[in-house]
Structure 1
Amino acid sequence: MHGTEGIDAAKGKVTAAVVGIDLGGTKILAGIADLEGKVLATLREETAHGPGAPVLDQMAALVGNLAIKAGLDVASVCRVVIGVPSAVSPKTGLASLSPNLALPEDRPLAELMSDRLRLPVDVENDVNLAAFGEAVAGAGRGLDNVAFLSFGTGVGLGLVVDGRMLRGAFGRAGEIAYLPTGSDVHRRAPRSENGLFEDEVGTRGVVSRNPDIGGVRELFERAEAGDATAREAIDDLARRGSVGLASVHALIDPEVTVIGGGIGSQPWFFERIRHHLAPLLPFDCHLEPSRHGAEAGMLGAVLNAVHRETRRA
């Protein structure tokens, strides 16, 4: 991406590196890369929960362990970018709207981690970083306006507009989980913990509508084997999801929407959501499956860290 910055040309040794961390409610996926964006090592761990936010020390340890795994001096790490499943205020740096992950509410996560690591740390919404990664080196490469719509445990939307991540005034741009879909929304919305659209298309909604199927993984396995009931359930899920997807194209008009996440990355779901989107809008919408799969958030964080560090230099 940027020649051979951060590499000792005489020895071919990496002298500067960045770390990207995808912090989720159940797992953490982290990667270390040189300043060309080449990933040198990755680590995956279950997210630590409990009093005192042990996940902060867990992430600090991950940075050091990644450097060791890549055969680098820990001091070579010059920047860390963390993606979180939250709205991150661009004004205060505080995280909110994170039902699946308890984060400190009194101090910005970036400050807390920078204090521990003694180096620059930036925190962004995880799906925004996934969108950034797809725009830089994925299905949206070379495009200025890219949306990333993730269907999985929950639902999230990341946006790159005019080449930059769109955060909104309070960091809530792309909080599509709260899109008021379905019937009688004024009565149902105040009772919804995670948002009406997420109630429709998230894992909980899928399982509640299909109690005879053990879970989402089993649903797709049965559909792959030709089970008609499972295929009908996925078709119904895609039809519900297409409403949110149509809203993205009507309001944002991206050049491409990349579909990802544990559910979104399934080929059968992708084909059906494209099918159900077609009659909703009087214009064509360009859709692509994620090129980065389960690593989309981590790779987006890595590439964003490279972007920040090389731009600074």
Structure 2
Amino acid sequence: MCGIAGIIYKDGEHPIGTEMTRMLQSMKHRGPDSTGYALYGQPSNLVIMRYKLADANTPRDFEYEDRLRRHRAEVERRLHALGAKVHELEEETEYAFRVTLAYDGDLKKLADFVEDVPDAEVLSLGHSLEIVKDLGDAEQVASEYELATFTGTHAIGHVRMATESDVDISGAHPYWAYPFSDVAVVHNGQLTNYFQWKRRLERSGHRFQSECDSEIIAVYLAEKMSEGATLEDAMRDSLEELDGVFTYICVTKDALGVAKDEMAAKPLVLYEADDLVALASEEIAIRAVIDREIDTYDPYEGEVMVWQR
């Protein structure tokens, strides 16, 4: 079933970590297996990388802690080898890390070099995007990663009910659009031409960490934008080229957009005011962050809507 949510403020920074947690926790019934966030702070000259070396399902054998230490040290060594200057390295959990670094090289080269370390997976790279995802509900994940302290401009989130893949971090949403900076997607639905697009994008040099069709959408849109399309144009193209039943939300460093396929079978409710736009699979999620009487509506079939900061 799954649930998706998004919020974007027209101006200023806001406690989007707390607000997205409220939105997602209100939809816990739609997906209790994992919860994910794509959070956007003010753009920085530094690159922000979030990566993991294991997850909650990884067997805690007698080599587990030593393996984590060795692999973490190897990631740091590789960052230095590429000329990246690490400003801060935070241990978010025993297996998930946040690194800020000065680096002006190729993000693909950086991600590939890090992911060549056993068990390493880069969850996001960018100058404002930070993807946090883990097993459990929104309150559990937010508490573990201290998201109540995160202030920013816009965010998307996802609660997942695993139906076709394992319950792990790699299968959780959102997805970063490897190797493009600051693009992420959450999605409710299913692509029927998933494998066709995966093969096509792999031939263009892209890699995928999961079997999830949402990851395809993220890379598809980012590649279109890298070729000069606007976010809105790329999303409109997706309605013609991606088959299936779906509603998805895409975010970039300064925009949030939503698309619904021509059947519009997957729900989405929208609220728009002068200062913000909030949207989610259910109205209860929007009301979790807006403490006044509001009017919402459901976008039409085949609809694409984009809001810029």
**Higher strand proportion (structure 1 or 2):** 2
**Higher helix proportion (structure 1 or 2):** 1
Q: Normalization by structure 2: what TM-score? A: 0.29
Q: Normalization by structure 1: what TM-score? A: 0.29
Rg comparison, structure with higher value: 1
Q: For CA contacts below 8 A with separation 6 or more, give which structure has more relative contact order.
A: 2
